[in-house]
Amino acid sequence: MKIDAKLLNLVKNIDNDVNKFANNETGNTQLLTTIYDPMDSFKQVMDLTTPVEMNYLTQNYKGFYRLAKLGYCA
């Protein structure tokens, strides 16, 4: 799948930022308190990708998926 390099870079940055926090309740709470910056990039990715591309990205970047899941449930 060919995804724009700029968008892929945003996804990788989000993934790295999210993965700095433990994947547990405490880590999720800490992540949610610092979610503002990654959410701007996340919105750009959502606006500029197709559903198929978004599925690919969430399957291949676990931190990106985690933010999507937390953002949706928050």
Decide which of 60 and 39 is more confident. 60
In the chain, domain spans:
5-73
Q: What is the pLDDT of residues 6-22, one digit of tens each?
A: 999 999 999 999 999 99
Task: Give the pLDDT confidence score for residue 73 in this predicted structure.
Answer: 53
Q: What is the pLDDT of residues 43-55, one digit of tens each?
A: 999 999 999 999 9
In the chain, pLDDT over 70 holds for what percent of residues? 95
Buried b / exposed e along 7-18 (16+ C-beta atoms within 10 A) = beebbeebbebb
Residue 58 has pLDDT above 90, yes or no: yes
Q: Please give the structure tokens belonging to residue 19.
A: 């993965």
